[in-house]
Chain A
Amino acid sequence: MRHSSLITRSLPSLRYGWFAICAALSTLWLGLGFAALWGGQTLSASWEQRLDHTTFITVPTLDGRSTSNEHIATIMRAVSQLPGSDHVHFLSKAEINTLLAHWSATPWPDPVPAIITLHYNGDYRVLENAVHHLDTNTLILPPNPQSETLQPLLAVLKRGSSLIAGLCFMSGILSNLGALFLSLNTLSLRQDKNLSLLEKLGYPLSKFYRSRAIYFGGAALAGGLVGLGILFTLLTSISSLVRPFLHLTTQSQTWLTSTSITPLHIMVLLFLPFLQGIISALISHRRLLQATRSSL
């Protein structure tokens, strides 16, 4: 206490404020980088899952009678043999009723038409020829053209989120380098005339250096925690803005619970300030002690 008072009176104050700001920025940028990376991936995966690639083949009823199973089986066999067709499936009556409920406001009268679903990547003229060759009354409903337009958008989204994450990581690293520079800058204290005088008079510099290292570690920790607070607030605001796109149904759902952020990711974010604090303290203390030992 006595010595710290002496130091406060006789030495220039170090740039703890700037150091804390660097630590806060570093945490913020790195956190935003992780968020951009995870958020972009999660959003594109979520949209991709919701894309409908299904083609419907509807076989209408004839004279109020259901289509025979043999006829359906023939159509399914013919469709399955086409190149580019996959997941050929004959819908059950319950599935058909659910589907028709979306298409018509009133209940569909029995008998319901037979519906075959499939994923088809080939030429639709070939599919039409193959089906109409067996039954000219069948209707072929290709998937929503939105799925075709969304693919390039998703590619852009993935590239964009990677780019933003990269920029954020770069800014975080630059902020870290700034903090590192400031902590190494304490070595300039070795040139300080007043510190030199105190050393000559027998002032225990190792204690002073230890206390400086603790201050630096504390500043890094405080800055990191502030950065973490800003980051959480920012991400919560952003997730509330993009809530419709993320398909968050309830208000209680946040970016923390809805995306693919795992507890490990949260731990990494929480650990960053502590890591910065420890590293800063160790670097500062070690460098200053090395300088002290080389004095004789």
Chain B
Amino acid sequence: MARALINVPAHAKKGDIIEIKALISHPMESGYRVGMNGTIIPRDIIHVFTCDYNGVEIFRADFSQAVAANPFMSFHTIATESGKLVFRWSGDKDFEATETAEIIVE
């Protein structure tokens, strides 16, 4: 399982704009590089990253070969209710990773 670092404020006031950050360990191998033995290193990238807030998708990003290794995403949303944020990454070689974070909205 890939390691991920999630940064979501633990508490927020209703209506606040909050910043969410998510970093995951992934090689993001472009598929264009040539290895030591002269053969192409097969592509191994993340294709889709999504963030659900209490079951509703609030953010989605499509990654390409141009994205660096260990991709770091930062985005904003409005704190509406207490609950769970679910982060999902999926990509080549059946790569799947899920992380969750709790937020309390007062």
Q: Do A and B come from one complex?
A: no
